Amino acid sequence: MADKRALTVYVLDLSYEVVGNEPHIVIWGIDEDGRRVVLRDKRFRPYFYALPKPEYVNALNEIANNIKQLSKPRSPITRIDIVEKKYFGRPVKALRIETVIPEYVREYREEVRRLPGIAEVLEADIRFAMRYSIDMDVTPCAWHTFEVIERNPNPSYRVDAEYEVVNVVGREDRVSIPSLRIMAFDIEVYNPRGAPKPLRDPVIIIAVRTSEGKLEQFLARDKDDRPAIKEFIDFVQSYDPDIIVGYNSNRFDWPYLLERCRYLGIKLDVSRIKGVEPRPSVYGHISVPGRLNVDLYDFAEEMPEVKVKSLDEVAEFLGVMKRSERVNVPWYEIYRYWDDEKLRPLLLQYSRDDVEATYRIAEKLLPFGIQLSSITGLPLDQVMAASVGFRLEWYLIRTAFRFNELVPNRIEREYEPYRGAIVLEPKKGVHENIAVLDFSSMYPNIMIKYNIGPDTIVRDPRECEEYGCYEAPEVHYLFRKEPPGFFKTVLSTLLSARKKVREEMKKYSPGTPEYRLLDERQRALKVLANAAYGYMGWVGARWYCRECAEAVTAWGRETIRKALEIAKSLGLEVIYGDTDSLFVKYDPAKVKKFIERIEQELGLEIKIDKVYRRIFFTEAKKRYVGLTEDGYIDVVGFEAVRGDWAEIAKELQERTAEIVLKTMDPRKAVEFVRQELQRLREEVEKGVAPIEKFVIWKTLTKPITAYEVEAPHVVAAKLMLKMGYSVEVGDKIGYVIVKGSGKVSERARPYIMVDVKDIDLDYYIDHQIVPAVLRILEYFGVTEKQLKTVGKARRTLFDYGKKR
């Protein structure tokens, strides 16, 4: 018999396969010697729970016998146990039903549900590999020790060694991660007829960039892309990456390559199982067995600061590559650059810049994804593709297993609105030296303090006689004081884990690998904790509780009101407040006293988030521009951060705000706007202004035929369809307004078919640029009429006194 040994492995991913009539959990990982290994656990079996109706609790043996009658030869029911569990915090008896083949769980679920005496069938929709991950506490992106026996490697697996698991010893408490082989890739497609079609248009360039700094391009031979695709497949097999990153690759590059390969009769053999191609999986991601395929676009989706999520915009925002220092080729002209020998070198450089930007974005974002994966148990290729609600839910499911709690089913519900956070009216105008005070994890701390959760909400006030209850202000919902609820325990664990990580960070210098990993971990823990309140009000949640979410916001509003009273008693001027933040006149002594009293009287932590040298508020809530101490401009709620305004309007608004806040001389801002508009007029007339600055982006929210009103983006979308482009619901349509008569919508054109000389600059001045800059300047008495002398006369003088 082969010898058992302990093996410590950094787990990349978990999957399963059925061999003969036996399910095998397959664990992909890297051992301490850097070998790529696969571990196979043959011991685990799929199961689910049946919860009896209260009147049938004493007939569990009879129900178990009825369930046994459902057993099928292909996947028999191998055992049924009566177990003591908790369901929404209350003790229950349930039946644990085990079978052999994971796919049969769904079949048995429906049949068991129909039996008399069954109230609910639970946990039958947890995927088999995730079930193992939860029960054995084996999470991706973490080190684990297993007791194993070495086996001869399966010849179809591209690994250095294979082992059979005989025991899971446990997770190792290590900060470090092994040296991962990461490969970025990006494809360019020939597209003379607009949107490319895989059955028609070849892949002309595939670029790759590895973690060793190697950058290679595989090129089509004119329009024959077979050689390029085969060279790419060979490269992936020889380099053997652990992680493959792309940008929008789940939605474009992978589906295109897969369909193109099918058309050409090529197998896209790039996974760690020979002959198994990438395939669509949960949350819309493409699974590459044995490797982690990560679409960085999923990370960009969660950057509210970046409105247009293009690769070049995100790369610039993250500081990895400036747009001005790279080659940009309009996507609709790629075919022309390929066909023209003089232009082709530019296209090749564009492709290199794209894949280099993709790789560098991955360096910035993957550490956060890795930490989120290790905490939630969702593999790295799924964790960002999943919504915040699903990420938190998987963490809750893992915790529920440890607490012996049954996991509720997901139920389809109608959305029920509830009153949100308090937002104070801002004090209009420019204010100097303003501190922003943030309550640390306000909502999670309220949930902990008042034991809020779907298992602690009290429907019958008589329950309060034994344990006592907290009553939410305004809404008057009651929550049991004791024992601690599921959410209180989960959130206490998350916040205390974050505190420990932040203590651990103090042992390392900023900039060290350990510090950076710990910093990403504490951020991941914070994101999960802050999602808990919103999760309860999400109709897709298993632990849905609208009243709980309502109670949290009610206590939140009360907290802000009490904080305002404390500030008033200290003579601390409050300029504005929103959700869990207060903007106050920065008096260090008063602020210090305020922070102490908040902690003493409200039992919550509040700290200085940032200090603005100057900040400008309009009369509207959630709308301000601030100049930070280090010279940065924060723009919140203005056109400058909205996607449906042209880039030129955003740019000029932000520059206007910056000049006003830095100089406090609006005349300089007005002169700047005039000069810029004069320059724009000249550049448009000469045809040298960049058309991208004038594009307005709007999303198609329904099929084109469903629009009753001909909005500009709908007109542009229809023109794109006529040109042969594919246009679908969810697509962002970029359009410009051209000169001519008729309604604005009739003059909307897709920007890809317009020469910049044809754009209607007066429309942009009247409806985009002037309204955007006036949001700032009208406070100083500047009027639309005065600004519109731009480009025609510059001699107007006007009063710059503030409005009284």
Read off the pLDDT of residues 531-544 as tens digits, 9 standing for 90 and up.
Answer: 998 899 999 999 99
Per-residue confidence (pLDDT) for residue 456, from 0 to 100: 95
Checking if the pLDDT of 353 tops 90, the result is: yes
CA–CA separation, 354 and 681 (whole Å): 32
Checking if the pLDDT of 211 tops 70, the result is: yes
What's this model's pTM, rounded to 2 decimal places? 0.86
Q: Tens digits of per-residue pLDDT, 434-463?
A: 999 999 889 999 999 999 999 999 999 998
Q: Tens digits of per-residue pLDDT, 396-414?
A: 999 999 999 999 999 888 8
Q: Quick check: 23 and 44 in contact, CB under 8 A?
A: yes
Rounded percentage of the chain residues whose pLDDT exceeds 70? 97
Confidence tier at 641 by pLDDT (50, 70, 90): very low
Confidence tier at 38 by pLDDT (50, 70, 90): very high
Greatest CA separation for the chain: 97
Task: Of 150-164, 384-398, 560-574, 650-664, give the lowest mean pLDDT range.
Answer: 650-664
Q: What is the DSSP string of 85-141?
A: EEETTEEEEEEEEE-SSTTHHHHHHHHHHTSTTEEEEESTTS-HHHHHHHHTT--SS
H or E stretch including 446?
helix 442-449
Question: What type of residue sits at position 520?
Answer: E
CA–CA separation, 701 and 729 (whole Å): 6
Average pLDDT, the chain: 91
CA–CA separation, 432 and 11 (whole Å): 52
Residues 6 or more apart whose Cβ sits within 8 Å of residue 279: 286, 287
CA–CA separation, 776 and 635 (whole Å): 11
Q: Quick check: 398 and 377 in contact, CB under 8 A?
A: yes
Checking if the pLDDT of 512 tops 90, the result is: no
Checking if the pLDDT of 803 tops 60, the result is: no
Per-residue confidence (pLDDT) for residue 619, from 0 to 100: 66
Q: What is the DSSP string of 714-745?
A: HHHHHHHHHTT----TTPEEEEEEBSSSS-TG
The strand ranges marked E within 402-528 are 429-439, 457-458, 469-471, 478-480
CA–CA separation, 102 and 74 (whole Å): 11
CA–CA separation, 483 and 492 (whole Å): 14
Q: Tens digits of per-residue pLDDT, 642-662?
A: 557 898 998 898 889 889 888
Three-state DSSP at 600 gives: helix
Whole-number Cα distances in Å, 212 to 181, 216, 439, 511: 8, 12, 43, 21
Per-residue confidence (pLDDT) for residue 309, from 0 to 100: 84
Checking if the pLDDT of 425 tops 90, the result is: no
Task: Of 85-89, 167-171, 345-349, 708-712, give the lowest mean pLDDT range.
Answer: 708-712
Specify which residues 185 forms β-bridges with: 208
Q: Quick check: 612 and 627 in contact, CB under 8 A?
A: yes
Per-residue confidence (pLDDT) for residue 725, from 0 to 100: 76
Confidence tier at 466 by pLDDT (50, 70, 90): confident
Per-residue confidence (pLDDT) for residue 657, from 0 to 100: 87
Q: Quick check: 606 and 439 in contact, CB under 8 A?
A: yes
User: Once rounded to an integer, what is the mean pLDDT over residues 124-128?
Assistant: 96
Whole-number Cα distances in Å, 429 to 254, 617, 737, 764: 51, 5, 34, 27
Q: Quick check: 456 and 409 in contact, CB under 8 A?
A: no
User: Once rounded to an integer, what is the mean pLDDT over residues 516-539?
Assistant: 91
Per-residue confidence (pLDDT) for residue 802, from 0 to 100: 37
Q: Which residue has the higher pLDDT, 633 or 738?
A: 738
Token representation of residue 551: 């109670």
